[in-house]
Structure 1
Amino acid sequence: MSCFLALVRALVLSSLLTGTRASADTEKKYSVWMANSIISRGQGVLTGEGDSSALLQAGFTQKGFRRLLEQYSGDSSAGLIEGYVNKSVDSTISTVSVTTKLTNYPLDRLSNGNNLIDLFLETGDATYRQSFESLRESINLQPRNVESGLWYYTYKNWSYLDGMYSLAPFYSYYTGLFDQDNTTAIADIVLQLDLLWEHCYDNATGLLFHGYDESKTAVWANPETGASPHVWGRALGWYFMALVDTLELLPVERQSEEWTGLLDKFRTLACAVVQSADEASGAWWQLLDQPGREGNYIESSASAMFVYALLKGERLGFFESATLGTDSPNNDVEISTNASGDNEMEIVATSTSHAQVADKAYDYILHNFVVHNGNGTLSYNGTVGVCSLNSTASYEYYVQRPINYDSVLGSVAFILASLEHEIKDRE
């Protein structure tokens, strides 16, 4: 247990620049600034009065703030932010500690697990362990389809990209610390990501559709794959972040089949994400398979998620040929037309820099979605509300969902993107 934890923390610390630990008093950092603004609004704490994504909002806030503390442990706001992480975690304990009730919540509930583990390791408080053990056991109780794919929620046989950011990093972290010999668990983590890839991969764009119905009976299900009909930006953002975070945490050798298989998916998806960026803004559409269509728009949470995953992947060397021990160049995606006239994805060598694409998008986000309130706080705009496959899953459904102001699903994604951008700027 201690060896794996030490390795994870050493990797995190060694990959962050020493210069980023200076006090934020010397330079205004958007990551810290937005975190303090979220705290001022009392967001990311479970109160029982939030919407259906409240448990996810708490877990996402905890993960973003924890990442900030790793990067800026010496910041003057670190004590405040650390206390707020503890407050958020404590607010979820009564909800996540009853294992038998947890499958009534989406897989998003598992986003709270990582910080429950961290607080247990820091304090030894058995209450935290009971809570994350309850979350872990709930994975075993979650209904599955005939391929052993986890249902995202209570909708029979429906699996979503969304749940992977909460599931896979927690499952990986727990297994590495407390269940290292459980090869079945490691295989299950990879399986969940693989099944979504197999069912939802879009040959025309290289992106992934929102989810799939294994039974193929949903009104929106593709009759062959079961996939839903559109590529929703934030669902893809959750999956993309899940890949990069799981590659960092999965307790296997870097040359193992499990790890290299996930790396291949991450690199392939990164190429397609780069290719799908809007040429004018550099950011990403609400529906990525319908760029420029009337009603579609550039969406702020997915755009920040893609920036985070691209910059983190580059920082960790996941786009370098040496990562796989080959002599192949960095790859990108090109859409070509085959002899039958169908679009297909082709991996080709290009000079495109993932960081350049991410930087352009980050600049757009900073100037179009970040709002300076004039009272020392920041707000965040342009984040779509919850989009569910318990719907028609039509184009009109996605583009007519409400836009939420100051949603932490967007503002925390911005914190993560900013942290990676701030590291890069100090290189």
Structure 2
Amino acid sequence: MKLNTSTFAAVLACLNAGISVATDVKYSTWMTRSIMSRGQGIMTGKGGSSEPLQAGFTQKAFVAIAEKYPTDPLTPHIQDYIRQSAASVAPFMLNATNDALAIDLNRRNSEGGFWYFVYPNWSYLDGMYSLAPFYALYTSDGNNDKEARKALNEMQFQIDLLWCRTQNASSGLLVHGYDDSKTAVWADRITGASPYVWGRSLGWFIMALVDTIELLPKSGCKQRDDLLNKYNGLAKAVLKAVDPVTGAWWQVMNEPGRARNYIESSGSAMFATALLKGARLGYLKDASLAIEATLAGVRAHGYLTDTFVIHNEKGFLDYNGTVSVCSLNSTASYDYYVGQPLLLNSVLGSAAYILASLEVERVA
């Protein structure tokens, strides 16, 4: 890795702060082998509505591993596993009309914001992790300028809507989503926003910003400039929201320390990933912010490793402390968010941990 000035300073800051960034263990590949041993990320049709997301997120993490470690003996097996996962998804994704998964067929609210799945007039942060990078890839895949501009403008429009309707002015954090009709039991009667900042939904969103910025042209792209500004603002808010004791992030981020609230492992891994990657790629405009982000990401990863990574008797790693799912198709109350079950070995947590581990290994 070629270190720029900010990254080099961040490494020195980690060392001076007593945070170890060198490791003799590649947790990224170890967790990858563990996921493969469990057969996760292979779609069966029996894993519920999030099964395509689980498969796609597993593929995302595994592709990153294969690219980072092309000569590792495990890499050919990882590449085979990616192909198996993709093949398992294909039969379930062939009827876009039935599944309402094609973008042009997706329903919209009165402002033009996409519905999240089948929920009328509701838009979630979660959806941007799949949508925004896809739009960016679409524009770079040989499409004509007119179609590319249309796709990029649509991508920015969807992000802007969520940003404007869900941002908390005092914290800079974004709540889970909003109801354009303002009729949901949880909806703010003026903005339609839901009341709580759910860690993983915000984790999806900030990772979407970083991944999309990476795919857009570095010059002459107004959408990239806009996403960079949003990422910088959100990174500052996320850093401010870190738990000072653990260095990780709360399940309900706008209620830190409240009874029954807890540090959640998937969202924390996503924040660590987004902060470390953004700092590494130079997306944070201020050098001191890049250093702070690197320190926070390394520290959070260390806490996740010490607290949620379990060495099992088979020589593989388990990953604990990942909330099952939180949906706005609920009361979206505080009790709801802190009452959802925690899962062992959810790939929404373990795949995020792989991505965070990769970023730490790059720093090291």
Three-state SS of the structure 2 residue aligned to 1:83 is helix
Is the CA contact (8 Å cut-off) linking 2:232 and 2:285 kept in structure 1?
A: no
- C-alpha deviation, 1:14, in angstroms: 8.2
Question: Relative contact order (alpha carbons < 8 A, sep ≥ 6): 1 or 2 greater?
Answer: 2
Residues 288-332 of structure 1 show CA distances to partners (whole Å, capped at 9, x for unaligned) of: 0000000000000000000000000001001135xxxxxxx655x
Q: Distance in 2 between matches of 1:384 and 1:376?
A: 24
Q: Which runs of 5+ in 1 are unaligned?
A: 1-12, 17-25, 104-134, 322-328, 332-350
Is the CA contact (8 Å cut-off) linking 1:15 and 1:316 kept in structure 2?
A: no
**1:36 corresponds to 2:12:** no
Give the structure 2 partner of residue 116 of structure 1: none
Give the structure 2 partner of residue 154 of structure 1: 118
Q: Distance in 2 between matches of 1:14 and 1:390?
A: 46
Query: Which residues of 2 match residues 264-413 of structure 1 at below 5 A?
Result: 264-321=229-286, 330=288, 353-413=292-352
Matched residue type, 1:61? T
- C-alpha deviation, 1:52, in angstroms: 2.3
Compared CA separation, residues 253 and 318, structure 1 to 2 (3 A): closer
Q: Distance in 1 between matches of 2:200 and 2:114?
A: 19
Compared CA separation, residues 153 and 14, structure 1 to 2 (3 A): farther
Matched residue type, 2:52? L
| Equivalent in 99, 114, 123 of residue 102 of structure 1 | 99
Q: Distance in 2 between matches of 1:32 and 1:176?
A: 30
| RMSD across aligned positions (CA) | 1.9
Indicate the percent of aligned positions where both proteins have the same amino acid: 52
Q: Distance in 1 between matches of 2:79 and 2:224?
A: 32
Give the structure 1 partner of residue 16 of structure 2: none
Three-state SS of the structure 2 residue aligned to 1:212 is strand
Is the CA contact (8 Å cut-off) linking 1:142 and 1:151 kept in structure 2?
A: yes
Compared CA separation, residues 201 and 378, structure 1 to 2 (3 A): same
Q: Distance in 2 between matches of 1:96 and 1:152?
A: 17
- C-alpha deviation, 1:200, in angstroms: 0.1
| Equivalent in 182, 185, 210 of residue 176 of structure 2 | 210
**1:54 corresponds to 2:51:** yes
- C-alpha deviation, 1:415, in angstroms: 0.2
| Equivalent in 341, 349, 356 of residue 417 of structure 1 | 356
Q: Distance in 1 between matches of 2:318 and 2:187?
A: 37
Query: Which residues of 2 match residues 79-98 of structure 1 at below 5 A?
Result: 79-98=76-95
Query: Which residues of 2 match residues 160-239 of structure 1 at below 5 A?
Result: 160-181=124-145, 182=147, 183-239=149-205
Q: Distance in 1 between matches of 2:310 and 2:144?
A: 45
Give the number of equivalent residue pairs.
345
Residues 75-94 of structure 1 show CA distances to partners (whole Å, capped at 9, x for unaligned) of: 11001110000000000111
Q: Distance in 1 between matches of 2:107 and 2:278?
A: 32
Residues 177-199 of structure 1 show CA distances to partners (whole Å, capped at 9, x for unaligned) of: 14241211110011111110000
- C-alpha deviation, 1:360, in angstroms: 1.3
- C-alpha deviation, 1:256, in angstroms: 2.9
Relative to the length of structure 2, the TM-score reads 0.91
Q: Which runs of 5+ in 2 are unaligned?
A: 5-22
